[in-house]
A and B are shown apart, each in its own frame.
Chain A
Amino acid sequence: MPDSARNRHILVAAIGLLILFGLPVVVDLVTLLEISIYVVYAILGLSLGFIWGYGGILCFGQAAFFGLGAYTYAVTAINVGESTGPFLLAILLPLVFAALLGAMMFYGRISDVYMGVITLVVTLILFKFINSTANETWIVGKARLGGFNGIPAFPTLNVPGDPGALLDPEQFFYVAMVFLLLVYFGLHWLMTTRFGRVVVAIRENEVRAELLGYDIRLYKTAVFAIGGGIGGLAGALFANWGNFVSPGLFSLAQSATIIIWVIVGGLGTMIGPVVGAVLIQYITTLLGQQGVINNAFVLGGILVLFVLLLPKGLMPTLGQLLTRLRRAPRRPARRSAEQAEGGRDGH
């Protein structure tokens, strides 16, 4: 691992641990609960950041995995009355769903554009389907799907093995934050393995990777599945945060929002989608408290600004700036000396 990468990991880990242990001490419970949702969104941002930025797969349907995770959790929790099994299933089901969808797309050798269309359509179908389940007949075991009304209440996270010991909001914050750190460093670790190296190779040059004997379809499917599982994890956490799930989770607006997080934060980095998610959701919350400008306009405006002015996103641009600043002290000195010389000769 290059030194710069190690330093960056240490910095992120330090900030992460500081937030994990420090925040509950300094902010009140309401604020902590509000921050918890940013943490969940950060995980959701990472799920797309990995698929898109590392796998090179533009997915317009990340919300499908998010919604699937949330609903899987809600429905199963109602049925089994505790949280551990449902939580794991909420990761597993979107993972398997993504694996199947991915296998279909990648083994079918569908072009990038159609892949975008398919992920979009799948999300739309899930959204329409869930919306249409308001009728009494849509029941899974003990759980009513509820259609556009959503599912209003279900058992939330408990200490594994002890259904009576429900987590309080502070404990939920710890859980979400630990999952964020696990996902962040887990994905970084994954990229240092053989698997990760092949994934980068495929992103950089698909044909060459294939001519080395690597089955790119298999690797892309795996990346897609992992991203789907992480999206499901975010969904399960989201369901627990509000103790409420609704079809809006599957909406195209939700998918678009995730894409905006990744673009704003920086594609091809892990920290970018995290920062993008937190920043954009913070701005959205602030805007939500006023009624003057429509939220969608502001989000759209931010997206356009970034695409035009900071196409690489916040974090990569910031990184470049820092590198330049670090090198700066030597360069201006040399330049001023040259200028002085030029002045003497020229005039």
Chain B
Amino acid sequence: MATKGAVVLETRSLTMRFGGVVAVDNVDFELREGELRCLIGPNGAGKSTFFKCLTGQLLPTAGDVLIQDRSMLGEPPCRIAAAGIGVKTQTPSLFNGLTAREHIALAVERHHGRDTAAARIDEVIDRFNLGDLGRRLVGELAHGQRQRVEIAMVVAADPWLVLLDEPAAGMTHEEVDRMVALIHEINRNATMIIVEHDMQFIRMIGDQVTVFHQGAILIEDHVEVVLSDARVREVYLGA
């Protein structure tokens, strides 16, 4: 995507401390409309913590989070989500007592009226090939199928901003390929942040990359530049 729009998400001096651990350290970050941004860094770099500050799951120790120029500080996750932001957390999380179809329904029904919801649910079920899985409880599904339900849930809510924390974790090669294609497809209608620590995956997505190291931004550039950067190699090999 050559032309990038206005800044839609911004953090100012964002800091998150857990006791003595500074998980996110004074981060200034900007994301423009239409971007597909990868957030990478070794385990423990603070990616998920940064992510949770964006989604409202964590209240930052200091600094500010702005979405479309409005401070979201202290807003509960439901408000942030209701502003049109789709989130997939790092740990798989579904509702075990519900069927795959009910999951999609939950995502769709929050902002669709009764009349349009059913059609939209069917559409999502079709698009993610959940047809025959729809009736089964998600607890009975295989790992890959469960992940498909999770992503389908995110997309079902028609978000304009999509935040995915390690969407390819534990996937097979084919599943990863499909996920990359899906991410590009979602990006046609939504601005995205993908958190990932797997370099291979980042290379396949190939766009703007922000590298986290010890809670701070180490470097921010195009994927090719970042991957050939000596500091990045050192951080990854050292970790």
Contacts and interface: CB of A to CB of B under 8 A. Distances in A.
Nearest to A194: B109
A215 B102 CA distance: 18
Contacts of B93: 205, 207-208
B109 to A, nearest CB: 5
Given A212-B157, A213-B78, A213-B81, A204 B96 contact: yes
Interface in A175-229: 194, 197-198, 200-201, 203-205, 207-217
Contacts of B106: 197-198, 201, 209, 212, 214
Interface string B203-238: 000000000000000000000000000000000000
A: interface residue count bin:
10 to 19
A198 B78 CA distance: 13
B39 interface: no
B76 A210 contact: yes
A212 B110 contact: yes
B94 A208 contact: yes
A197 B102 contact: yes
B27 interface: no
A214 B111 CA distance: 10
Given A197-B106, A198-B106, A201-B106, A216 B78 contact: yes
A316 to B, nearest CB: 13
Contact of A212 (B57, B79, B81, B96): B81
Interface in B68-111: 76-79, 81-82, 87, 89, 93-98, 102, 105-107, 109-111
A211 B76 contact: no
Given A204-B97, A205-B93, A213 B102 contact: no
A208 B153 CA distance: 11
Contacts of B77: 207, 210-211
B55 interface: yes
Contacts of B57: 207, 211
Contact of B76 (A194, A197, A198, A215): A215
A209 B109 CA distance: 12
User: Which of B55, B93, B106, B107 counts the most chain A CB atoms within 10 A?
Assistant: B106
Contact of A211 (B87, B102, B109, B111): B87
Nearest to A215: B78
User: Which of A198, A205, A213, A215 counts the most chain B CB atoms within 10 A?
Assistant: A213
A209 B107 CA distance: 9
A213 B95 contact: no
A194 B157 CA distance: 15
A94 B231 CA distance: 64
Interface in B143-196: 153, 157
Contacts of A213: 78, 81-82, 110-111, 157
A200 B81 contact: no
B135 to A, nearest CB: 9
Contacts of A208: 89, 93-95
Nearest to B82: A213
A204 B78 contact: no
A203 B79 CA distance: 19
A211 B86 CA distance: 8
Contact of B107 (A194, A205, A207, A212): A212
Contacts of B110: 212-214
Contacts of A217: 76
A324 to B, nearest CB: 18
A212 B95 CA distance: 12
Nearest to A107: B76
Contacts of B97: 200, 203-204
Contact of B81 (A198, A205, A211): A211
A197 B94 contact: no
A62 B97 CA distance: 26
A200 B89 contact: no
Contacts of A210: 76-78, 81
B147 to A, nearest CB: 14
Contacts of A197: 98, 102, 105-106, 109
A208 B91 CA distance: 11
A210 B55 CA distance: 10
Nearest to A2: B135
B141 to A, nearest CB: 15
Contacts of B82: 213
Interface string B102-138: 1001110111000000000000000000000000000
A50 to B, nearest CB: 15
Contacts of A211: 55, 57, 77-78, 81, 87, 89
Contacts of B76: 210, 215, 217
Interface of A: 194, 197-198, 200-201, 203-205, 207-217
Q: Kindly list the 6 A-B residue pairs having the minimum CB-CB distance in the complex, ordered from nearest.
A: A213-B81, A204-B95, A213-B82, A210-B77, A208-B93, A215-B78
Given A208-B89, A214-B78, 9 more contacts: A197-B105, A200-B97, A200-B98, A205-B94, A210-B77, A210-B78, A212-B81, A212-B110, A212-B157
22 contacts: A197-B106, A197-B109, A200-B98, A201-B98, A201-B106, A204-B96, A204-B98, A207-B57, A207-B89, A208-B93, A208-B94, A209-B95, A209-B106, A210-B78, A211-B55, A211-B81, A211-B89, A212-B78, A212-B81, A214-B106, A216-B78, A217-B76
